[in-house]
Structure 1
């Protein structure tokens, strides 16, 4: 997989990175990983998952397993459902042509318990081993309220 850094003018953004999925087919055994440094254990933060899909993605949603690895070796694992289309099949998100960009709030106003290096791993958790027309998966961390 190839990583690309997305730069934004948002003052609240702490970290954002998106990874291109090889061949736009996301396999269950190829997690997307992001590593980031935390020094602020006082402020609250929002965690987001970025997904870019095409019109040929066969489902209206996507289940993900999201693992947050802490600097002390502990980890937390969550199952997250992201809705990509409405019941009529109209895609959510922004984009042009057949590409659709979505940002999903995963955790809101959370404090980091420790300073240090954190790692996020995102696995697709659908019943289909290889998901077609998934182009990018990303993680964004921003300051909360």
Structure 2
């Protein structure tokens, strides 16, 4: 029988007392907002458990979606909604809404949730281009 090899403790490990420190990620300037990033999956699948949790959208929550003038998808809970949060913790953006904002499978989207209003905005790549125009200028000018 071969005995397991256990490396000796290092001096650093000897000096640690109690649990390791935890890195705290700062919140947003507005505590009502929650952000997430998701990849659009097959048939418009969008999943971000932290954002859905911030909105208190549990499996079975019915949702309705519409396209905004700015090229975003607005999502909110509605008893007559045609989409629902699945047991696996995701929802699907219907084809009509994906088409109106040019959202494709594999696209990364920014999710912006408002906790109190229970609303979610989905920013597709085209809207992110407009949103980050100033950032692009700074990046290109710094060369």
TM over 0.5: no
Q: Which structure: larger Rg?
A: 2
Q: Which has the higher contact order (CA 8 A, sep 6+)?
A: 1
Q: Which has the higher helix share?
A: 2
Q: Which has the higher strand share?
A: 1
Specify the TM-score bucket, using the shorter chain as the normaliser: 0.3 to 0.5
For normalisation by structure 1, the TM-score amounts to 0.35
For normalisation by structure 2, the TM-score amounts to 0.35
